[in-house]
């Protein structure tokens, strides 16, 4: 059985950067994000045991989303300079380790991850998406699960975990987000509608479409008025939070981990001062290198 692990690259690079506060190479360059990313990658591969793997990076904001909401993700701070300089180094590691990666200008990682996950599931692959982004809960099926780094159990999330987190089914998650908004992406929701209220409305009405078709049945006059006033924003939010179709194909040969470049990895580990990883590399036989992280 093919099992594809898709890693939200930026999410884990940021997580690694903030998890390890200060680590530097012999020449003083920051390496905390690099080291943390490598260790997280190793842990994920051990937990998931994928047959195929890819790290997906953000290629910029979607022009379609920006046109719909100019303030989309506008509140996010600039990437710290000490993290920015480590991105190319992480990419160098992935190339040397034979690990596939993807980035394309103007394509958000979420959309590509969603597209690839759906294609793989249709081909009867099992898929695990490694990310804490709640947008991915809308993708969960019997074939697609989530590895949420905030969940210390390490369990792969399925429908049960999505219901426990959101109060709704995976197929309702986009409507749930559309109603309550998403402060992380600077998407305003319906005033007065939070996690529980949004879930309660969807449990009763099933979908945003049904909710607005039966708005008179909402018992609270204040809530009914708020929903009516925000109707246009809710429709816009649905388009913002739904994962868009982007160009992607399921190409198994491009998702397979290749043999590592031992000399390139050795040079990187020496430059970064990763003595433990260098010792592990030198202890490995060439036949074992494909398993090395």
Residues 281 and 293: their CA atoms lie apart, in Å, by 9
Residue range 119-173, pLDDT digits in tens: 999 999 999 999 999 999 999 999 999 999 999 898 999 999 999 999 999 999 9
Which of residues 288 and 254 earns the better pLDDT score?
Answer: 254
What's the token pair of residue 5? 């692990």
Q: Give the pLDDT of residue 291.
A: 46
Structural domains of the chain sorted by starting position, each given as residue range(s) with its CATH number in brackets: 3-159+244-291 (3.40.50.1010), 170-241 (1.10.150.20)
Q: How confident is the model at residue 259 (pLDDT cuts 50, 70, 90)?
A: confident
Q: How far apart are the first and last CA of the chain?
A: 22
Does pTM surpass 0.85? yes
- Of 145, 105, 130, residue with least CA distance to 54: 130
Q: Among positive and negative, which fits the CA dihedral 90, 92, 93, 99? A: positive
- Residue 142 phi, psi (nearest 5): -65, -20
Residue range 58-85, pLDDT digits in tens: 999 999 999 999 999 988 888 999 999 9
Q: List CB contacts of 28: < 8 A, sequence separation 6 or more.
A: none
Burial of 21 per CB tally in 10 Å (0-12, 13-18, 19+): exposed
pLDDT at 287 over 80: no
* H-run or E-run covering 54: strand 52-56
Residue range 214-242, pLDDT digits in tens: 999 999 999 999 999 999 999 999 999 99
Residues 106 and 108: their CA atoms lie apart, in Å, by 6
């Amino acid at each position: 059985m093919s099992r594809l692990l898709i890693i939200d690259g930026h999410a884990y690079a940021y997580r690694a950067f903030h998890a390890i506060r200060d680590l530097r190479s012999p020449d003083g360059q920051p390496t905390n994000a690099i080291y943390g990313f490598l260790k997280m990658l190793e842990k994920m591969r051990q937990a998931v045991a994928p047959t195929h793997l890819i790290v997906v990076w953000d290629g910029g904001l979607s022009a379609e989303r920006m046109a719909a909401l100019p303030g989309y993700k506008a509140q996010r701070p600039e990437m710290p300079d000490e993290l920015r300089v480590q991105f190319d180094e992480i990419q160098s590691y992935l190339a040397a380790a034979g690990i596939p990666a993807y980035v394309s200008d103007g394509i958000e990682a979420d959309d590509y991850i969603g597209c690839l996950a759906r294609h793989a599931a249709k081909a009867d692959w099992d898929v695990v998406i490694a990310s804490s982004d709640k947008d991915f809960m809308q993708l969960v099926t019997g074939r697609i699960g989530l590895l949420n780094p905030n969940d210390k159990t390490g369990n792969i999330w399925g429908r049960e975990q999505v219901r426990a987190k959101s109060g709704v089914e995976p197929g309702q998650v986009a409507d749930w987000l559309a109603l309550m908004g998403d402060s992380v992406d600077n998407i305003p929701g319906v005033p007065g509608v939070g996690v529980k209220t949004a879930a309660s409305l969807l449990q009763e009405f099933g979908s945003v479409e049904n909710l607005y078709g039966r708005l008179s049945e909402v018992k609270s006059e204040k809530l009914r008025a708020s929903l009516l006033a925000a109707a246009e924003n809710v429709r816009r939010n649905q388009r913002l939070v739904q994962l868009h179709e982007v160009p992607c194909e399921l190409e198994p040969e491009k998702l397979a981990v290749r043999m590592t470049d031992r000399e390139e990895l050795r040079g990187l580990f020496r430059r970064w001062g990763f003595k433990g990883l260098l010792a592990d590399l030198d202890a490995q036989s060439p036949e074992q290198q494909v398993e090395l992280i």
